Structure 1
Amino acid sequence: MFQPQMFVFWCFSMFTYEIETAKILAVFHYPGKSHYMGGVALMKILAERGHEVTMVSPIGESEKIDNYRDVVLPEVFEVAEQFMKNYFEYNMHPYFQIYGISKKCFSLLNTTLSHPKLQNLLKSEKFDLVILQQIYSDALTYIPYYLDIPFAFYSPMGASYLTNPSVGNPSYPSFIPDMFLDYSSEMSFFERLDNTMIFIVNSIIRYFFILPNHDRIVKGNFPNAPDISVYNTKASIVLLNTDLSVNDPAPKVPAMIDIGGFHIKPPGKLPRDIEDIMSSSRYGVIYFSMGSNLKGVDMPPHIIDIIMNVFAKLNQTILWKWENDELVGKPDNVVIRKWFPQNDVLAHKKMKLFITHAGLHSIQETVYHGVPCLTIPVYTDQLSNAKRAVGGGYAELIHLNDISEEKLYTLIDKLLCNSNYSAAAKKRSAIMRDRPLSPADTAAYWVNYTIRHNGADHLKVASLKMTWYQYLLLDVIAFIVTTIFVVVFVTKKLLSFLYSFAKSKRKEKDE
């Protein structure tokens, strides 16, 4: 039925809402599949809103997407395969992770910047904005400098030592744990000591190892490039894959925008076979997936045996993301697939529990759908994600090396039988959904904002123009300490002189 008031509102909206389209160049050099999937989801959001998006990455999409163009650099993926092996064997100590990972990224960055496809793109086309994946990517910030256009970072892991320097965001090791440590924001003295030490180590490695090498990579491909300090802190905004429902509150400068959950869409229709399995499950469903980088088939054989023995004791139906066609010894209540539509599976009414590696996307999806989870973190930020989930009351944590039949069964039974976990998950879900704009709309708005305001320099804090010793107030502290020393020294000398003078006068008088 025709509604005049709605027609008037529609006409008014058409005239007052500014349709903004731009040419956006996205460069995602890191070939981790989960990171790439997040980047593609973000670029699709922008393409759906009319922007012309060019995505430079090592992977690429198989389907055609409107307003979206792939520029695939397969050589980057081939380089990455040299060190992206079995992540279950990842055992690097947190103090060495930033050094080890950043060193491996040097070859990825050099292969990306030197690639003829990217070089030709930069020379032949004009863009309005660059969006860079922020994973040890300071060298890539030369691209927007070369094109003389603003740029935004997309951080798949939230604010950290990787993101903070680019926009002058403060870091407080007293209550913000390093993303590679499984500490909560309420740390003990020795945890704060450990967190402070790793902060210092990371800062030293960044300024004396990472940045000089990135500078060499840039100048090796662009000989006329200035020093990296000229352009690596010019980001207009940083789109953070974080949300208050999942991440702890922390100070953020205005240029940092939370868009966590942007990749989550309303649940779609499940494939018929999966829908039938889930709907017919009398006791509900448990979903088990270790994400896209970790593969279940790579788990140690004895761990796989333990997991199957525990699953065999459960009444629930288990959907297990398993990368092989067969699983020898699979219990009857376990259904394996190489892929499940995770978002749609978690949204199903029969879903009872998610067993996950605690990747950030998985944690966001389980919170969005209000499903409690058992976390089995393996490496990098999965440890801190799991710790926060436990602190949020909707999860339990077990380390891979600590798994035994008794421990695993006890935790699963606890999560299934104690309604407090489900209640906490639903509470967090309500928080995630209670936003003035959806995460996707928030991302699109701030990208448009940056383009409208030609880089939005007014969002940048003054600390970006300060030297490190000015930022840390070391010059002020040195001045105060020197002044106190001079005052004390002069006072002492003056008092000593007055005492000697008075003593000599008294002596003269006695004589």
Structure 2
Amino acid sequence: MGVNTNQLLSSCCLLFLAGFSSGGKILVFPEDGSHWLNMQFIMKELHVRGHNLTVVRSSRSLYIQASSPLYTVITVNITETAVDAEFFTILLQRSVALRKMSPIVRFFEQQRDVATMLQIFHNGILSLISTMLDDSTLMKELQDSKFDLMLTDPAFPAGVLLGNYLHLPMVYNVRWLNTGDAHMAIAPSPPSHVPMYNSMFSDKMDFLQRTENFLRYVVSCLQEQFVIIPIYDKLLKKHFPSDSDLLTMQRSADIWLMRVDFILEFPRPGMPNVVYMGGFQCRPSQPISAELEDFMQSSGEHGVVVVSQGLTVTALPKEITEAIASAFAKLPQKVIWRYMGERPLSLGNNTMLLDWLPQNDLLGHPKTRVFVSHGGTNGIYEAIYHGVPVLLLPLLFDQFDNAVRLEVRGAARVVDVGTITSKEFLEALQDVIRNPSYRNTMQKLSKLHRDWPLSPLDSAIFWIEYVLRHKGARHLSSEANNLPWYSYQCLDVIVFLIAIISTALWASIILCRLLCCRSNKKQKKD
């Protein structure tokens, strides 16, 4: 069938003009690690749609590439950083030690550790953004670039501060903010039924759990006010108007693309400018390499166990690794394990160790029977998308909360990494493989997750372009963002009402006394 040359040229011109006219200039300030992985999915789609992307990265970045065909790079030279691969190893060792403590001791030790980590991370971010704002040449270049939008992950506020400095409309790719769930900064979060970060509670709490959850809520507010905010005080005074404050800046984003789907997250209050896009990185599986395919097929009817501890943890402590490897060796299934440490002595012939594995493609393979995971958000949503049951060994950060959410839905089992034994791990793994309820529940969640009129990624892109088209979305922001905390909680109203009631009571008492005194005097005269 022939092709009309004029029609083809006309079509190409129309596509070019459409891309040129709709494309925006977007400044992207991502976070490193797994956060960067999911930011890339959004950036690739924006690039396909003709948008011009510029990424800000630190010279000490672990995963953000210094060059890419998708975007232009601005690299900020940082001489030192406290956060590297060894730092996460130390955090892991500390996390294992915490799991062995009694609940009360663990609570206080956790809060101390969180305060220390917040200081380390935020001081590193302060160094990065200070270097940028102090560089007048760089700031002039950014201002002259006339960006249309800031896309940032506000887990740490470098992108937030830069976006406010440049007066750009902002879209967040967000899950965590300051001391916990980002919902806390923008939507009502009653501790009576909204579990706090690292509480490991569901939304159905008994009295003691609600008490602990309330204490965690109070502590998180105190950490925000007395640990995080003071770190940026001097920076704000130097580069921003006198009435500027960090929390108001953080709440000023036009759209919050929340990496949440309520098939996993517990229901809670939201806001009009919050767009839920949990699992937006999930996609149909692609063919794997011939070597991996041969290994998968060699498992026969038993199938394969896929194992990954995520990006930040390359290997577990030796005693835990040996216990897990010994359990794997006793399985009839084959095992593919993303592992970068010293080869375990108890490793069986049925286990393949890889520095990297195509996780999404393996989870979508028909031979995969179970996913052994640390509980990272990306991996959990990929398992849900493909309907694969999970055995969880939470290690750090939000992984403990993710594990609870999937466990209470009956789609996973959780093993405590602090007290793990080879026998316990093997029993839990065999239960997930043999008990059909885990797979059935996960497949039900998969159907719910996929049953949307618009995919999570398409929804995210729509709202980014919505902000570009309208140069913001301030009409979706709640006035609560502009209220001080005491007004938001109506404490000033409560104090006012108490003062009126107290004054009225006091006046009534005085009046009664005066009347009584007059009555007594009259009686005496009579």
Q: Is TM > 0.5 for Structure 1 vs Structure 2?
A: yes
The 1:237/1:76 distance shift into structure 2, 3 A limit, reads farther
1:121 shift after superposition: 4.5
Q: CA deviation at 1:72?
A: 3.7
After superposition, the CA RMSD in angstroms is: 2.8
Unaligned runs of 5+ in 1: 3-9
Note if 1:50 corresponds to 2:50. yes
User: How far, CA to CA, are the matches of 1:39 and 1:484 in structure 2?
Assistant: 54
**Alignment identity in percent?**
27
Q: Give TM-score scaled by structure 1 length.
A: 0.89
Say if 1:60 and 1:72, in contact at 8 Å, map to a contact too.
no
**Matching residue's letter, 1:199:** Y
1:311 touches 1:334 (CA, 8 Å); kept in 2?
yes
Q: For 1:90, which of 94, 112, 115 is the aligned residue?
A: 94
Q: 1 CA distance for matches of 2:125 and 2:177?
A: 21
CA contact (8 A) 1:102 1:210 kept: yes
Aligned 1:137-148 pairs, distance under 5 A: 137=157, 139-148=158-167
Partner of 1:133: 153
Quick one: distance in 2 between partners of 1:38 and 1:135?
Answer: 14
Taking the aligned partners of 1:211 and 1:233, their CA distance within structure 2 comes to 14
Letter in 2 for 1:387: V
Q: SS where residue 142 of structure 1 aligns?
A: helix
Work out whether 1:244 is the aligned partner of 2:262.
Answer: yes
Match of 2:308 among 289, 292, 297: 289
Change (3 A) 1:405 1:333: same
Q: CA deviation at 1:474?
A: 0.8
Give the deviation of 1:363 after TM superposition: 0.8
- Which residues of 2 match residues 218-233 of structure 1 at below 5 A? 218-219=236-237, 222=239, 227-229=244-246, 231-233=249-251
Q: 1:281 to 1:44 in 2, by over 3 A?
A: same
- Cα distance 1:384–1:102, how it changes in 2: closer, same or farther (>3 A)? same
Between the aligned partners of 1:155 and 1:455, the Cα distance in structure 2 is: 18
What amino acid maps onto 2:496 in structure 1?
F
Partners of 2:378 and 2:46 in 1: how far apart? 19
Q: State the match for 1:39 in structure 2.
A: 39
Question: Normalization by structure 2: what TM-score?
Answer: 0.86
Q: Which residue of 1 aligns with 2:297?
A: 279
How far has the Cα of 1:347 moved from its partner? 0.4
SS of the equivalent of 2:78 reads helix
Kept in 2: contact 1:129–1:150 (CA 8 A): yes
* Residue of structure 2 in register with 1:470 after alignment: 487
1:23 is aligned with what amino acid? Answer: K
Is 1:104 matched up with 2:104?
Answer: no
CA contact (8 A) 2:385 2:450 kept: yes
Tell me: CA distance 1:41–1:90, structure 2 relative to 1, closer, same or farther (3 Å). farther
Matching residue of 2:170 = 151
CA shift in 2, pair 1:248/1:198, >3 Å: same
Task: Report the number of matched residues.
Answer: 491
Distance 2:342 2:112 in 1: 37
Describe how 1:185-204 pairs up with structure 2 within 5 A.
185-204=203-222
C-alpha change, 1:123 and 1:352, in structure 2 (3 Å) is: same
Please give the residue correspondences for 1:15-34 in structure 2 after superposition, counting only pairs within 5 Å: 20-28=22-30, 30-31=31-32, 33-34=33-34
* Equivalent-residue separation in structure 1 for 2:325 and 2:164 (angstroms): 53
- Alpha-carbon separation, structure 2, partners of 1:180 and 1:288: 23
Matching of residues 58-69 of structure 1 within 5 Å: 58=61, 59-61=63-65, 64-66=68-70, 68-69=71-72
Of 143-152 and 81-90, deviating more is: 81-90
- 1:192 partner amino acid: R
1:479 maps to 496
Distance 2:182 2:350 in 1: 44
**Does the 8 Å CA contact 1:320/1:335 hold for their aligned counterparts?**
yes
Deviation of the 1:268 alpha carbon: 0.9
When residues 97 and 443 of structure 1 are mapped into structure 2, their CA distance, relative to the original with a 3 A threshold, is: farther
